Structure formats: structure tokens, C-alpha cells
Structure 1
Amino acid sequence: MKRFSYHRADSVADAVQALCATPDARIVAGGTNLVDLMKYGVETPSALVDVTRIAALNGIDDTDEGGLRIGALVPNRTVAEDARVTTRFPLLASAILAGATPQLRNAATTGGNLNQRTRCYYFYDTKTPCNKREPGSGCPAIGGVNRIHAILGASEHCIATHPSDMCVALAALGAEVRVEGPNGARRIPFADYHRLPGDAPERDNTLQPGEIVEAVLLPPEAGAFAGHHSYLKLRDRLSYAFALVSVAAALDIREGRIVAARLALGGVAHKPWRREEAEAALVCSPADEAAFAAAATQLLAGAQGHEHNAFKIELARRAILRALGQAAAGTPQSQTDKRIA
């Protein structure tokens, strides 16, 4: 492991200053992703900025608008067990419980979950080329072993996927990310936080140099989906595995018709995949399979498989139908008994 300096920040301003002083510095909190990457030699920062003592990054609080603020340092387990989350935004709690293990959820933070790197085989293997790790070196996943890779939003430079479960739910709920940086604070719509690879796959998100995630903001209107939601995660084994395909489905149903809908996919793209056209296809429709199929067609438009992952297209279609059916019936997928209802 490369030698590095260590700075324990005592405020957000201190952390921002330390990041600006050392351009390749990395933030460390729970360390559940960064430490692994450093051990593998994938990440080689010359400085670490420890933010675990910054009180402003902690806590779950109601907002003036009626939503919820979740601090960047709040552990995943705390979010999943908070009564305000389980009552008003249960889709988020369910998605978190679908991920990792209890031990990791105890350590992993909200901000760290947003900023975790891809689990692509080639990204982790420093003996192979990888445009995300070393821009311009190539993408061996294209034409290589690509069973877990993207079917949507990819480019000729990268077909990796974002690994988070929590982020899929946050995308569906229309969250915002509040960041602090050298130019002050700003709020980023969740759909704009992560980016597609394009010709710069090394950039996972739209954070600017020196910026740090301060909190995630859940809008009050997302509470309308508390009664009809489901997070369905399909994977190679039932625990401690990343999604081949996951679906966050949320419906607001009144008098038998859908008046609002949210739908996002995980495991299929460089970011949580959401299309407003797919959600619009559900609005004003009865909650039936015909409407669900139309939404699936819209959400998967343009999907492209590779040699080993073309099966994901049909798997995603079926998963969308199943998750929407669970949401409509008010019987969300259990994250303890993982057999699909």
C-alpha cells in the first residue's frame, strides 16, 4: 500500500480545505469500500481526510419542508431502522436491508454508499487495463467476462455498473444530495448526482474538486408511496451478493388507478436507471399487468446485452413486472425471507 498522510477534520470547512490542499486526497469514514481499494492498489491517495468526528454530518432530522435529512455519516443500519424512514419511506429501508451484511451495514455510511466504486472484475485487477482506473487503457469487459455488466447507458469506454442498493431507492424517491465545497453549498437532484460513463468513465459522479457530501434530502411527496412499494433484488446467491438486476417500485394508487409512480433499476447501468417516460406510462392507468408491461418497455428501451449478460434484458423485464405487482398489492418483497412472493 502506498504511504499516505492522515488528517482528522473537525468541521466541514476543515475537510473541504484539506481536500483542496491535496487534489488526490480521499475522504474516509466507514472505510468499507475505500480501504479495500487501497489494499488492492486500485486507489492510491497521498492523503486521507477522516470526517468521522464532524457533528454536522450526522443525524436524521425532519426538514422544514416536511421531508427528511439524513446526514452523510449516518450508518446504513441506523437509516434502515429509523422509525421515520420505515413509516414514511419504507422503500429506502427495504433497499438498505437488501444490501451487504449486518456487519457492513453497521459500518457503512450514507455518504460512502453514494460514492462507492464499481465492483467490476477488471477495475479491481490492477494487472488488467481499465478505463475507469486508468483512462485510455481500454475496457476488457467488452468482449471479456461481462455477466454482471451494464445493459443500459454504457459506452465504448466502460460497461461497469453502480453497485448500490440504497441509491436505487433514493433515485426512485426523488432524493437530493446536499454538498459543501470551496464555493459553498449546493443541492444536486439525485438523478444528476451519478453520471454515465461517456468518454470519461473515471468520473463516477458530478462532485466538483473539494466538495463533500453533507446529507441526503428526502422530499415530503415521496411519503405518498409508503403504502405501495417494493424493492426486488435478483442475484446469484441470497446474501452478500450484488444485484444482477434490482427494481425499486413505488406507486400512489387511488380508487384503483395509479396517480403517481416511481421506478428505478439497479445492477444494469453506471448509475441507478430511471426514465420519466416509464413512470408516465403508469399514471392514470389501472394497476394491472398491461400497464406494468408498457412501463417495462419504456424503462428498458435501448437495452443492449453483451456476450454473457444479454439474459439481463429479459430478467429485468420480468423483475419490473414482479416488483410493480408486489407494490400494487401492498405486499413488498421481504428482505428477511428472500423467496420472491
Structure 2
Amino acid sequence: MSARSRTDPAPMPAGGRPLRWWIPLLAWFLRGFYFGRIRIVGAYRHPVPRRGGRLIVSSHRNGAIDGYTVLRVFPGAQGLVSIQLLRHPLLRWMFDGIAVVRDKDRERYGTRRAAFAHPVDAGCAQLRAGGDLVIFPEGSSDWGWQPLPYQRGAARIARTLLDEGVSLEVVPLGLHYQAPDRFRSRVEALVGMPVALPARDTCESDRDWERRIHQAIATALDAVSVNCPDAETFAAAEARATVQAATGESYALAFIDAQQHPQLPPPQPSTRSWPWDWLAVAAFMLLAAPVLLAGRFAGGKADARNTVSFFRIVGGLLVAIVWLPCLLLMTGFWPWPLLVLWPLAALGWWRWPRVMHRGKP
């Protein structure tokens, strides 16, 4: 046995530890099918790669699927992931990241404390190597009118690296879903300007400096994500943003504006669906019926609105693995009817939001 303990983490490669190769591909396919194109908006909507580390602090609205949404904006970003996801026989093939092991996880799985690096240490190593790291400061997702209390892990990582003189950029990211539990929902990622991190005052303790960094990060994240004073304001902001998005405006920017300047939503615009839209949607529902039914059944097992999409995607994926080869086989036997149905179904998938959502929040 070498001098290095077998429990010590391996040296971090230059640029940070990459995701397993199939994770970005799977994320692209699943979010593309379920949500469609994810629109990136904001003053910093095209964040460019940089040589130093980049810490992305994101709102947490829609369960584990939020990680796939973040990868649309920051491809290859590593995240802190619950050990439960990484140990599950199916989910460990769908997610990747730096394991977060809580005390109750150690008791459940019999894991030694030294078997995994502390999340803050692992996160700092990723950023020191120049990689991207995404953190959800809320810790857990929730579809509410204000964020859950922000944890201080991001501030602790930032304070540690700043104290070492490491170049660091902290970027706030607000994830906005028009309807988190609805197939083909509008999704936008609002990227804020990098956070102006406070410098350390003379004779200031680590704890006080970290508290000021945490406040700066929280303020920047609140500015790009859901942070309404009450449930009524949240509902009104959703309604107004939905109406404005139907006219081609940004849903996320309209929501933030309505959140900051509460007012009654404008009149509902008329949304007209043509007969061929309904025909195309019917063709898609026919072709993908087993997948849609499996997703709907799995979604019924979710315990909250913010986890419905995750359950639907997992349930639909399991059935799609079997159903898609069957469709291809049937196309070989009956090419003409199915070769006509395929493009019509693709059009139905594309037009689904216009026909089935009709601008509803």
C-alpha cells in the first residue's frame, strides 16, 4: 500500500473534475424532450469560460431536474449531489457530481466519514482547478412564493478561496418554470451579473467576513429568482408573466418585474389553435401514448408539485427504452402509415404548449 491513504481524494485534474461523458448528453435529451428549448436571459446571459473557478449559486425550484437546467447554461458544471442519488441503481446513471454525505446517510449506508471528502473541501478543490461548481443554497427544492433559507456553504467556499487569493467568480442563477409539473412547460434561466464579493476588513473574523459574503450572495440570488412578499403577489406575478410571455416577451424578466412592482395582471390575450394543431397533437399522443401514460402514472406518486416532473421523466424514460425500439420495428413492417405519423407527431410535440397550455400559468 502506498504512502497515500486509499481514502484520500485523487488529485483534482486541471480544469476540475469532469462529468461522466453521458450525463450532458442525457440531460440534453431529457430536458429537450420534456421542456423543449430553455431560454437564457439576463444581463449576463452568455457567460464565457474563464481561467479561474466559477461558482454558480442557483435557485432550487423543480427537484433534481434543476441540475439538467443548469447544465443548459453552464455545460459541464459539477454540483453537490446527495449520496442517495449516486447510490440508487437507476439514478446514479442519470446524475453525477460531488457526493454530499450527511450523518443520517452514514448511518443508513454504513459509510465511513473518511470515505468522502467534505463537500466544502471538494467544492474548493473543483474551483481551485478552474472548474465550474453549481450550488443550490436552499439545499432542497420547493415551489413556494419565497426561497427556503439559504445555507452558508457557498459563502464558506467563497471565503476560503478568497482568503487563499484564488481567482473566483460567483454568478447568481434564477430558474423559472411557467408550470413545473406540466409537460412542455416554458423554462427560462435568468443569469445575473457576477456578485461583488466584499473584501475582508482589518481585524475582521472569518465568521463575520463569511456572513457578509453570504448576505451579498443572498441579495444577488433574490434579485434573479422568486422572492415574493406573499402568496398573492406570487400568483399575480405568475399570471402577469404568463400573459406577457404569450406575446413573445421573457417570462423570467416579466416575473421579476411583477414581483418588484406588484399590480393586477393585464387582460388575457387570445390564443388561437388551428385544427391542424390539434391533429398534430393527437398524432403525438397516439405515437407516444405508453410513454405519456407511464409518465402521468409516475407523476402521481410525487409528494409535491416541485417533484412531479422528475417522477414523470424517470417513469417515461423507463418505458421509452422499451417503446422506442418497438416503434422502430413497427415502422419497418408498416412503413407508410408510420412514416406519415412520425413527422406529424413531431409537429404535435412542438405545438403542444400552444394547444394544451393556452397561456395558462
TM-score when scaled to structure 2?
0.23
TM-score when scaled to structure 1?
0.24
- The structure carrying a bigger strand percent of its residues is 1
- The structure carrying a bigger helix percent of its residues is 2
